[in-house]
Amino acid sequence: MIRTDTARRLATGAAYGGGGVGLAGAALVALLREEARSARRRVEARSTKQDPPSGDGVYGRGGGTPIVLTVLGDSSAVGLGAHRAAETPGVLVAAGLAELAERPVRLVRLARSGARAADLEEQVDRALAERPTVAVIMIGANDVTARTATSVSVGHLTDAVRRLTAAGCEVVVGTCPDLGTIRPIAQPLRTLARRWSRQMAAAQTIAVVEAGGRTVSLGSLLGPAFASDSAMFSVDEFHPSAAGYAAAAAVLLPSVADALGVWPAAADRGLRTLRRDTARPVARAAARAVNRPGTEVQPAEVAGSETGPWGPWALLRRRRPTEMPTPEEAEHVGDESGSPLAGRSG
């Protein structure tokens, strides 16, 4: 488990993966570099190298101004590895949110494959022009593989969340996935990749909550399933398959709906053994969330104060993943409101 003080240090400026590898000697460094090159060649050789259709459009029926859902981030937000727009996380969340809110939802996907946290600035510029109601951000994996300093990556993410929340937009961040589950990555690089990605996720959680957003842990959700079920991977063995994206969307949707006040309280009944509704310092919440599937961390108050002696308060919750619409059902939701549904055919 990531220790609380480690998570705090990562979020406030320390780079990750520092001198530990260097101390192991030049031979290990050379091995790690060769393993990284080998894994990259294997992934690139099998990658589709083509993003699925965006699925941008309006989902759901009924009157009123549509909820504007913007999706920002990297290839995981794009849905690279899926064949149809209806299999991507943006469309799945939009279709599910439309059903829960009983209002139309307009999806705007601004994520880009290969993006790093530094690219969020441009994506947020475009998102703000859409006047978003809620934004879903999935970012971090490319920063880990590129060995971007955590302080730099998290700084860009913090700026993005603050700009969005200042505009009245709710923000839900799916934290960095567990790269230790990626099969083309050999040992010992796989162990380091797991450590680095979990550190990134913990740092992201602290920074996002302090900036007014909420996070959902994806790494600990997808890790065990991806490690045991090859069907969760796409053909490149790096990006999720349609089943993998559905699993991610299933834990993101409750947090998105809750942020908008449309998540039904009845959906959480009977989960007292899973939920952790006690506020705690955000660093401690981040340390717990990084290893627990689908855990949400959001800002909280204690005795009317958002900050305690150990920093901002946070509420840690675990919800049962919601049942997601099938790709066919997601397409149907789009059809009924006249959505162009660009991804109907792969």
Q: Along the 346 residues of the chain, how does pLDDT read in single tens digits? A: 444 444 444 444 333 333 344 444 444 444 445 444 544 554 454 455 577 788 999 999 877 899 999 999 998 899 887 778 998 999 999 999 999 999 999 999 999 988 999 999 999 999 999 999 999 999 998 888 788 899 999 999 999 999 999 999 999 999 998 776 665 555 666 677 778 888 999 999 999 999 999 999 987 454 444 444 455 444 444 556 667 788 889 999 999 999 999 998 777 765 544 444 578 899 988 988 887 868 899 999 888 888 888 888 999 888 766 776 666 666 666 654 444 433 332 3
Q: What share of the chain is helix, strand, coil (3-state, %, to 5)?
A: 50, 15, 35
**Residue 156 designated active-site:** no
SS3 69: strand
Please indicate whether residue 56 is annotated as part of the active site.
Answer: no
| Distance, CA of 334 to CA of 226 (rounded, Å) | 29
| Candidate list 119, 143, 236, 268, residue with the active-site label | 236
Active-site annotation holder among 47, 75, 217, 339: 75
Q: The domain 4-47+54-336 belongs to what CATH superfamily?
A: SGNH hydrolase (3.40.50.1110)
* pTM > 0.75: yes or no: yes
Q: Which residue is catalytic, options 143, 217, 220, 239?
A: 239
- Residue pair 85/91 in contact by the 8 Å Cβ criterion: yes
Tell whether the torsion through CA atoms of 224, 232, 257 and 198 is positive or negative.
positive
Q: How far apart are CA 254 and CA 260, in angstroms?
A: 10
